[in-house]
Chain A
Amino acid sequence: MAEIDVENEEKMTFGLAAGALYVFFGILQALASTGLVDIPLVPGNAIGVLVLVVIGAVFLFGYRELKEGIPEGIAYIHVGIGLSLVFGIIYLLVMGADAISAYLIRSEDFEDWSIIDDVRPELYLALLSLIGLVKWRDEFSLKGITISGV
């Protein structure tokens, strides 16, 4: 049992950190979306704000439950990691597609495009979740009943 508690403790910290980062970047993106400020690597995108804040909220819910001693709270951390990776992959694919438009098709709309235009919080914040995935990879199997600690 003690071992599991240590692990949940780690997840709690992870949840707090990831949640705070996502919400923080969500706020940054909201500022960028107003068009008043220009923040490097945070392109303005109103729906992107929602994505970041929701993922952040999922992590923070997990943090709160674990803090209250509810072990099921780790489900939020796991789902948060999943969502974060899903959006990471989506924007990686979008970046790839834009690169094809710019370099292969040489589309007019992509004349001034550079890879940095497609770097957004969803993409680099997903790296954090990748660490989580690698660290707790044995628990990410939907085939079996393997959320440990419950």
Chain B
Amino acid sequence: MGAKNHITVALAGNPNAGKTSLFNAITGSRQHVGNWPGVTVEKKVGKYTHKGIEIEVVDLPGTYSLTAYSIDEIVARDYIVEERPDVVVHIVDASNLERNLYLTTQLMELGTRVVIALNMVDIAEKRGDVIDIEKMAGFLEIPVVRTIANIGYGVTTLMDEVVKEAQKPEHHEHEIGYGKEIEKALVKLESIIKRDTHLVGIYPLRWIAVKLIEDDENIKERIEFSPVREEIEEFLAEIDTIDFEARMADKRYEAINAVLPQVLKKGEVGMTTSDMIDRVLTNKYLGIPIFLILMWGAFELTFTFATPFMDIIDLVFGHLSGWANENIEPAWLGSLIGDGIFGGVGFVLIFLPNIFILFLMLSFLEDSGYMARAAFIMDKLMYNLGLHGKSFIPLLMGFGCNIPAIMATRTIEDEKDRLITILVNPFISCGARLPVYLLLAGAFFGGQAATVIFFIYIFGIVVAVGSAKLFRSTILPGKPAPFIMELPPYRLPTLRTTVIHMWERGSMYLRKAGTIIFVFAIVIWSLSAFNGDGYIEETEKDIDEGELLVGDGAFEGKGRFTVLEDGEGTFTGTVLETVELKSGTYEKDRYYEGIELMEEEELHGDGTFEGECEFLSDEDGGRYIGEDFTVEESFAADIGHGFGPITSPLGFTWKMNTALVFGFVAKEVVVGSLGVLYGVGEDEDRVSDSMEDDKDFSPLVAFCLMLFTLLYLPCLATVPVIYKETGSVKWTGFSVGYGLVLAWLLAFVVYQVGSLMGY
């Protein structure tokens, strides 16, 4: 057999053993992140050329063992067992040998070629541990290489060993003796399994036998259609598998403990730096306050620090959009590119600084080891709320964006706990909802705006907690499952790993939300720019009494004119009320020609007006001819009117309906949509002015609209994530339906009660 010039290497090891660092150290930036088929567990593959040999490195999820306990472990195991990588590099945390070697015993049983990367030897040695790696390699019959992954130490030697191991024609099957009685059972089982020729091809016989005694779900599924299934089950029924399993585990630890003292001279075990830090950060009195101020710091950076960068993106896209509108012919194409594409994409990209800084903070907190402590600190509170200590981090992340938050629930092993955390997550006000609150509260609550917004946030948390309690007592009964979670030692994350980590998550937002919102920006634009007759270029419209228009065109009839931009409008006609303007006093019932109005000047008149202006008709008989007022006749209006019967008990008008429908794409779209529907673009001040003038829009309605926006639906990008993570159409549908019903009910109660009380 000639030397292989292409080998696959899988990295396996306990969580926190430094697998990711080692992966980064080996492959550098040549990585590809994808998903394992059928599940949402991340699959990282990297390529690396070592002395002319092409090596494909696969980073497996961190596992404590090869039993099928969580999705992560099944993925890791199936890969090793079924894909048969040439070599498995087992990353062993040198400061935690005993427990780490348990996985080694399981890998040995599988009969794979293993190379041990004894990682973080620096930490162990600094503490005074002495590890004899030659002896260790000798006892285990496995090459052992010292590595310090985060600085790249030992990687070349490791890869040398990997290449050498891969060229070995055969691998030994290292076995652990389990004692007479169990061995007899294993032999018997093997002889039964051997007759299923299909199974023999996939797994080592002895391993299947061991797993069967361990009552391994995954293996039991494999033998479901085996011709020898009944025989196997009969045999298993005869023996005490629970007792056997316990004894097998014991034997494995015995084997480890037989080797360990000869290999490892333990240094002094005192308080480590990590323990010292933990005394402070998990202190009975200080733990929660420190946690709160750190969160405050993270949000201060996420929002305040991000502001100028958001402004810059906003400015750039505003200019691009304006340029496209003015310079691209025909007009519909200019509008598509300017309003639809630049407007829509710009709207997503504005939040990019927020998202990236938030993820940078979260990655830093996680990589430093603090996040695991946060779950510990908040456990008691979460438990009382019917949630799980581990639910806390996903809920916290929800304030940034529900998508990564829902993905973060993967660390929760218990299915019920996980499902509840996923279902209540959309009620946590994500960053995208804030612009909606800012706009509505700013327009209708003035000085109280901040209080109202704060209340909405709290209300979201209350709904999330209340729903969790409700689910616990109805559809998902029970108590939060007990949990155990390893606390990794604190370490100062390197900028490189934190940035890689941030980019992995942030770019996911960019890809997922970006593509979806991009497409829907065009859809929304099309719906509001077209009707059954095609593109709506210019509007001629009769205006009823009290109706408000904003546009750049001409108005004839009795009405009120407000100029929106400086010095752009001229008025010709009879003035209805005496007014004093900057350019002079204009008497009632007199005819003037060409009065130049300044910004925000108001004039009641009966004549024609040209320029950018807001028109409000006082009596019947007004007529408007011009641009920028196309929505009312568009498909978008039809959609809004269509929902009228459902939302009128909540006080919503068709414009709000349309905005909410579009808001399903992404909640921040509600703001942009209201802008388009009120015909004033995305300038916030102008949107709020025209809303205040809308007689159907009261503070009560605005409040109900905020409530509804908070609760009604997870956004379009979140729904598929909920589906992927729950793997169930039923629960995804439930999440959508529950939100809608709850939003409607609460808005209904608030609106009706508010109306009765005279608000």
Contact = CB atoms under 8 A, between A and B. Distances in A.
A143 B123 contact: yes
Contact of B271 (A57, A105, A150): A150
B283 A142 contact: no
A76 B283 CA distance: 10
- Of A55, A100, A143, which is in contact with the most chain B CB atoms at under 10 Å from its CB? A143
Contacts of A145: 123, 126-127, 272-273
B277 interface: yes
B126 A144 contact: yes
B300 A90 contact: yes
A79 B292 contact: no
Interface string A52-80: 00110110010000000000101110110
Given A142-B491, A147-B273, A150-B276, A105 B315 contact: yes
B286 A90 contact: no
Given A61-B283, A144-B122, A144-B126, A101 B311 contact: yes
Interface residues of A, number: 34
B308 A142 contact: no
A30 to B, nearest CB: 15
A131 interface: no
A75 B311 contact: no
A6 B314 CA distance: 57
Contacts of B490: 142
A33 to B, nearest CB: 14
Interface in A62-121: 72, 74-76, 78-79, 83, 86-87, 90, 93-94, 97-98, 100-101, 104-105, 107
Contact of B304 (A78, A79, A94, A107): A94
Interface in B314-342: 315
B568 to A, nearest CB: 20
A50 B296 contact: yes
Contacts of B305: 90, 93-94, 97
A54 B286 contact: yes
A55 B272 CA distance: 23
Contacts of A78: 276-277
A86 B273 CA distance: 19
A34 interface: no
B311 A105 contact: yes
B50 interface: no
A97 B273 contact: no
Given A58-B286, A83-B290, A47 B296 contact: yes
Interface string B280-323: 11010110011011101100110011111101100100000000
Interface residues of B, number: 37
Contacts, number: 99
A146 B315 CA distance: 50
B301 A94 contact: yes
A109 to B, nearest CB: 9
B492 A142 contact: yes
A21 interface: no
A126 to B, nearest CB: 12
A55 B290 CA distance: 8
A94 B294 CA distance: 15
A125 interface: no
Contacts of B304: 94, 97-98
B270 interface: yes
Q: Which of A94, A98, A145 gathers most chain B CB within 10 Å?
A: A145
A133 interface: no
A51 interface: yes
A90 B289 contact: no
B279 A58 contact: no
Nearest to A82: B277
Nearest to B491: A142
Contacts of A79: 277, 280-281
Nearest to B148: A143
A100 B308 contact: yes
Nearest to B271: A150
A94 to B, nearest CB: 5
Interface string A14-37: 000000000000000000000000
Contact of A105 (B283, B289, B293, B312): B312
Interface string B100-130: 0000000000000000000000110011000
A72 B276 contact: yes
Contact of A94 (B123, B286, B300): B300
A58 B276 contact: no
B49 to A, nearest CB: 30
Contacts of B301: 90, 93-94
A79 B293 CA distance: 14
A100 B306 CA distance: 11
Interface string B228-271: 00000000000000000000000000000000000000000011
Nearest to A62: B280
25 contacts: A51-B296, A54-B289, A54-B292, A57-B289, A61-B283, A72-B276, A72-B279, A75-B276, A76-B280, A78-B276, A78-B277, A87-B297, A90-B300, A94-B301, A97-B306, A97-B307, A97-B308, A97-B309, A100-B308, A101-B308, A142-B490, A142-B492, A143-B491, A145-B272, A150-B271
Closest 4 CB pairs of A and B: A75-B276, A100-B308, A79-B280, A54-B289
Given A57-B286, A143-B492, 11 more contacts: A50-B293, A50-B296, A61-B280, A78-B277, A86-B297, A90-B301, A101-B308, A105-B312, A107-B308, A145-B272, A150-B271
Interface of B: 122-123, 126-127, 270-273, 276-277, 279-281, 283, 285-286, 289-290, 292-294, 296-297, 300-301, 304-309, 311-312, 315, 490-492
